[in-house]
Structure 1
Amino acid sequence: HWRMSRGPSGTAAMSTLLINQSKYAWLKELGLSEDNDGVYNGNWGGKGEVITSYCPANNEPIARVRQATMAEYEETVQKSRDAWKVWADIPAPKRGEIVRQIGDALRKKIKVLGSLVSLEMGKIYVEGVGEVQEYVDVCDYAVGLSRMIGGPVLPSERPGHALIEMWNPVGLVGIITAFNFPVAVYGWNNAIALICGNVCLWKGAPTTPLTSVAVTKIVAEVLEQNNLPGAICSMTCGGADIGTAMSKDERVDLVSFTGSTHVGKMVAMLVQERFGRNLLELGGNNAIIGKGDADLNLVVPSAVFASVGTAGQRCTTTRRLMLHGSIHDVVVERVAKAYKQVRIGDPWDPSTMYGPLHTKQAVDQYLAAIEQAKQQGGTVVCGGKVMDRPGNYVEPTIITGLAHDAPIVHTETFVPILYVLKFQTEEEAFAWNNEVKQGLSSSIFTKDMGRVFRWLGPKGSDCGIVNVNIPTSGAEIGGAFGGEKHTGGGRESGSDSWKQYMRRSTCTINYSKDLPLAQGIKFE
């Protein structure tokens, strides 16, 4: 990958790094420098390949990170296992207090960390800050949860017996995250895993290593201030080699993987081969359904936000807009008009609404998808071109006229292309929503209560997120986040997602002097 190429070496090249330009001096507030250690396990290190992180808005190098070697991975896993022995003995509410401090430390750096996400990932500033806010929110949530997790006391059929359910940590949670949410996805996993009594080993995306390092520095400082082993929250920057090692490693009790369905399937098979646990958050091919009675003042901004937000690079991005024949033309016209008013610019400029794609490969995928859509009968109503400016900028695109089952419509392309489909009946719309391989997010716009509850019911949407009159993206942290089918089935963040990070034991305790057997069995 071009973004993983070795950076220029020697003094002549140093001045070319963005971190050395006065405009980007704020990066140093996060503890970043020209060359950064990509391993943390209580100590900082990194003896592996040096990668350069590039800014998607101008393709300029920001700074360099030294990745982990396999020997450093090995050392980090051992230190993590040792750290668990300390962490597991700390009562859950006290673990919650540490997570509270992590949330407070993130609050203090929220703007500067949000700016780094903007610079390195390419999403707009408010979304970068919003991502850190999400980690903070999950920390707050986890603090309360640390006094609530547990199992029921159940009625025993035997006199003098108690039947209880105990929940214990799984141990070491390996967290593999994607480029598109380089802070929040780690945050969901980290905060919840910690209060459950687990230790975490993080491998962030190889194209957002500076964000991984900056977040780890913030978390590490909290652990060190509390005289706790740093390896409770360790990090190994790297590529597929580290991810594969983690998936195969029996010492990694749970692998939480966020990324593509293709890679997620490989992770799942490697983990399943050793009967480990996995938590998968994979792709989405999400639809908004606009019925004839929909409030267009809700449909239009929702479709625009969910398709253009993060330049179409959220797993919950709306990729299919299904409109009833009676509103199709007017909605397409209004959405296209709104697209043309989207302010495009440097993502870290607070007035920008739309930034670049993350990589050059994504630009190629964008062009290929548009070409395929045209060949399959689609009409480009809006956008469709690469922008003539530095960085990986493309025009947000609307394509109409495709069949609901056209191959390109059934392909998740991680770019801002919205396929608009025309339907006539409710059965048709629900079937089209469910016919794609993924099952992450979905939303219907209607005022008909009967239709709402059919949509939420067994013959309605088959997704993990089923919305009404709001966009497909922008989930709150209080609910469980995740999807079905090729989305992987994992759940993170709120509700009872904490159970994925713990193991359950059913415990029967006899406090009598007799030994009655269950099911009335006599064995005398």
Structure 2
Amino acid sequence: MTDTLSTQFQAALTRCGIDLQALQGTDITVRSPIDGSQLAQLAALPAAQMPELMERATQAFKQWRLVPAPLRGELVRLWGEELRRTKADIGHIVSCEVGKIVQEGLGEVQEAVDICEFALGLSRQLYGKTMVSERPGHRIMEQYHPLGLVAVITAFNFPSAVFAWNAAIALVCGNPVIFKPSEKAPLSGLATFKALERAIARFTAQLGKQAPAGLAQIVLGRSDVAEALVDSPQIALVSATGSSRMGRTVGPKVAARFGKRILELGGNNAMVVTPAADLDMAVRAIVFSAVGTAGQRCTTLRRLIVHREVKQALLDKLLPTYRSLPIGNPLQSGTLVGPLIDKASFDAMQNSLAQALQDGGQLLTGGQRQLQQEFPKGFYVTPAIVDMPAQTAIVRHETFAPLLYMLTYEELEQAIALNNDVPQGLSSCIFSNDLREVEAFLGAAGSDCGMANVNIGPSGAEIGGAFGGEKETGGDRESGSDAWKQYMRRTTNTINFSRELPLAQGIQFG
């Protein structure tokens, strides 16, 4: 980074309460994908210290679970205030550390603010049910109680929002939180966590000793630290975001000890464009969904399934737009496509491109490295579109880069089959103004993804809806709707207020 940008970055860290001197070590080297420059060298927490950290959280749980939920909501409200106050700084850190353009960095922090507002309202709506009993003088009800320790393990691409999605809900549900950010983006996670620490300090000052020590903790480290959280029977719920490969390791380990998990894994998201689509709207959605965050979202558009009748008309609009996309430093105004996170991501994209062409694909645009002279250690690339003759193995594989495969269909049933014929099942969408096509796509025989949209792209989910997908995406949900139930334990209570003891199912005993 230039001296000016480095000064701005350091100032943002300071305003967020991050002291790099206190965190200094040799275990984790943090680099900016903008130019490959070193942002920090951090010490990792030794895995041997994890039991002590988890014991602090266990003691905190004993106190926090007894705090009334609306008071727990007040803590999250204060966290939202702190996030608002430092939104610009956290967004700047995200842009420097992850490579997101400024608008996307700010948008991610806004997601964290939004989930705090959602969780505040939720703190007064942790509802159970009352059911009719078959026995006279009896009542059945369900209650939700705090679950226990929640571990949140995040990926590099959403280092602020995903932690907040989980932590805000976990806290109002009465659970302590242990946060392990990606070693590729620990500073963004730290900035978000520091806002929570300030909120806890304000909460304690206002209400006394309601917020126990160990309620929220952050651990910097690599896979050994994550494994300690995954393996520990003290951790009631592991929320882990990453690749399907990672999920295949985490899921069975948590299941083996009968723990709960929320897995947010791979996505291979498709858009179906029908003859009844508004093509101008579709182009705008394609561009944002396929190239935003340089294609490094789990909800990135990766497959474009277009009816043969409108394929050329769509390409006539889409290709000029793609070829005019401003690629460059994400901190500069006007940039729409920033860098890939590192060389490994660039190499993965190139390998996928080569395989797609070998499978008979035609490169329509993009795929070349850019700005190599200006940023020799930054990996910028022109977003690529490949016209594929069929949905080959490489198309069914998630490549975390701005690589869009185009497929052609004749009948809607064929398009839906293509949409579903991948291992992942996160997000999907259809562009059509035909009600019958829309309902078919959304129905039981339609998209098999956890999210199915109409006339918007597959990315840009709001926090009010449950977020997650099926198949290799993990099958779990976080953020809005009733995802809060995963952070609680449910009890069914049968209450006999009569003077008799009738048995269920009419059983006579003795």
TM over 0.5: yes
Match of 1:11 in 2: none
Please give the alpha-carbon distance, in whole angstroms, between the structure 2 residues aligned to 1:174 and 1:487.
19
The answer to whether the 8 A contact 2:61-2:148 is kept is yes
- 1:306-361: CA deviations, max 9, x gaps? 00111000000000001100111121231111112222221122322110001111
Shift of 1:33: 3.7
Write the mapping of 1:71-82 to structure 2, written as runs, cut at 5 A: 71-82=48-59
Shift of 1:35: 3.2
Match of 2:381 in 1: 394
Equivalent residue in structure 2 for 1:433, among 405, 416, 419: 419
Match of 1:207 in 2: 184
1:51 aligned to 2:28? yes
Shift of 1:16: 9.9
The share of aligned pairs that are identical, in percent, is: 45
- 1:24-54: CA deviations, max 9, x gaps? 53332122344353xxxxxxxx8x7531211
Match of 2:207 in 1: none
Equivalent residue in structure 2 for 1:298, among 257, 263, 281: 281
- TM-score by length of structure 2 reads 0.95
Aligned partner of 1:426: which letter? L
1:126 aligned to 2:98? no
Q: 1:301 to 1:20 in 2, by over 3 A?
A: closer
Shift of 1:214: 1.5
Match of 1:274 in 2: 257
The answer to whether the 8 A contact 2:78-2:203 is kept is no
Please give the alpha-carbon distance, in whole angstroms, between the structure 2 residues aligned to 1:19 and 1:200.
33
Match of 1:357 in 2: 340
What residue ranges of structure 1 are gaps of 5+ in the alignment? 1-14, 38-45
Match of 1:26 in 2: 12
Shift of 1:431: 0.3
Please give the alpha-carbon distance, in whole angstroms, between the structure 2 residues aligned to 1:349 and 1:162.
63
1:448 aligned to 2:425? no
- 1:148-188: CA deviations, max 9, x gaps? 11211111122221211011111001111000000001110
Match of 1:336 in 2: 319
SS of aligned partner of 2:414: helix
Match of 1:491 in 2: 477
Please give the alpha-carbon distance, in whole angstroms, between the structure 1 residues aligned to 2:460 and 2:66.
36
Match of 1:4 in 2: none
Match of 1:149 in 2: 126
RMSD between superposed Cα atoms in Å: 1.7
- 1:371-425: CA deviations, max 9, x gaps? 111111111111111112411111111111x233211111100000000111111
The answer to whether the 8 A contact 1:19-1:62 is kept is no
Match of 2:271 in 1: 288
Match of 1:405 in 2: 391
The answer to whether the 8 A contact 1:151-1:164 is kept is yes
Match of 1:381 in 2: 364
The answer to whether the 8 A contact 2:140-2:495 is kept is yes
Shift of 1:111: 0.6
The answer to whether the 8 A contact 1:84-1:171 is kept is yes
Aligned partner of 1:315: which letter? C
The answer to whether the 8 A contact 1:17-1:60 is kept is no
Equivalent residue in structure 2 for 1:137, among 98, 106, 114: 114
Match of 2:68 in 1: 91
Please give the alpha-carbon distance, in whole angstroms, between the structure 2 residues aligned to 1:374 and 1:425.
26
The answer to whether the 8 A contact 1:35-1:63 is kept is no
Aligned partner of 1:211: which letter? S
The answer to whether the 8 A contact 1:483-1:489 is kept is yes
The answer to whether the 8 A contact 1:35-1:66 is kept is no
Match of 2:88 in 1: 111
SS of aligned partner of 1:79: helix
Aligned partner of 2:118: which letter? Y
SS of aligned partner of 2:66: coil
- TM-score by length of structure 1 reads 0.93
Please give the alpha-carbon distance, in whole angstroms, between the structure 2 residues aligned to 1:448 and 1:19.
50
Shift of 1:199: 0.8
What residue ranges of structure 2 are gaps of 5+ in the alignment? 205-210
Please give the alpha-carbon distance, in whole angstroms, between the structure 1 residues aligned to 2:45 and 2:12.
26
